[in-house]
Structure 1
């Protein structure tokens, strides 16, 4: 965080803000591990940031350039255990479903048209019903999505939607 040209780590910023607001300092777990739909353990760094009367709790997947990221917010006076519980539930709920399917493609079908899919080497990443993703930017600064921990560029996502041409999108 940068305040008045001075840089602060998240912990220092939170401690300074807590002192200014007369709040008790909150220590919290910095790491959580959850299992995805395939039973793979995924580790997340947990961060807490105070923004006025709101606290933001974020879990970012370790070791992944894009990876999973989850966030919950709540009032500054919310019990941290309750906020963390909501964050952990969100992580578990989202990891328990697959939004995209990454599958091997038989050799005789590699030249076929694959609607709802993009290629990852010899595998395709395709949208599943009820898919969801997180908006982000890619290495070039262009808008992208992270779907099931996989970075999908804006162009790739539009290609995945190609067979839905003529449909109405609702958001």
Structure 2
């Protein structure tokens, strides 16, 4: 990606300032999350994507124009991650029998869809930085039988209200 970005920067006549490759942000539970940053120049857009170091975990992105201040874009990425990690959507509890269950806090959740290497027919759903299979999400949502559901698909770089 570095070679590609250098070639694109030369063609577009833009600078590639040094940006941190990794950084750490605490989540809502005080867990330190380590993110790796990737920059991609795509003609009219610069995309900064941060992936948590572990496979199938948190992922965030921001984008800007090629002439935007890339340090400010990086700051926007950190702010977006900090906001994204400030809330959790799932919680676990135990029935009186001792059996565990997972439920949706405050009747809403945000997630990212990811490719499931074990099952190419359905996506993994990343919620609170943890991968869930489509079946697991279905079991979690069973408590909402009879409720209405609104699903909004947004690009990773877009804000999800």
State the 4+ residue runs in structure 1 displaced beyond 3 angstroms: none
Q: Which runs of 5+ in 1 are unaligned?
A: 1-9, 111-122
Q: Which runs of 5+ in 2 are unaligned?
A: 152-161
TM-score, normalised on structure 1? 0.79
Q: Does the C-alpha gap of structure 1 residues 61 and 145 become closer, same or farther in structure 2, counting only changes over 3 Å?
A: same
Q: Does the C-alpha gap of structure 1 residues 87 and 134 become closer, same or farther in structure 2, counting only changes over 3 Å?
A: same
Corresponding position: 1:93 with 2:83: yes
Q: Which residue of 2 aligns with 1:108?
A: 97
Match of 1:164 among 138, 141, 144: 144
Q: Which residue of 2 aligns with 1:33?
A: 24
The alignment of Structure 1 onto Structure 2 pairs a total of residues equal to 148
Corresponding position: 1:128 with 2:105: yes
Q: Helix, strand or coil: the match of 1:158?
A: helix
Report if aligned partners of 2:91, 2:105 keep a CA contact under 8 Å in 1.
Answer: yes
Give the root-mean-square deviation of aligned CA atoms. Answer: 1.6
Corresponding position: 1:11 with 2:2: yes
Give distance in 2, aligned partners of 1:71 and 1:160. 27
TM-score, normalised on structure 2? 0.84
- Which structure is larger by alpha-carbon Rg, 1 or 2? 1
Which structure dedicates a bigger proportion of its chain to strand? Answer: 1
Give distance in 1, aligned partners of 2:65 and 2:49. 15
Q: Helix, strand or coil: the match of 1:161?
A: helix
Q: Which residue of 2 aligns with 1:78?
A: 68
Match of 1:137 among 110, 115, 119: 115
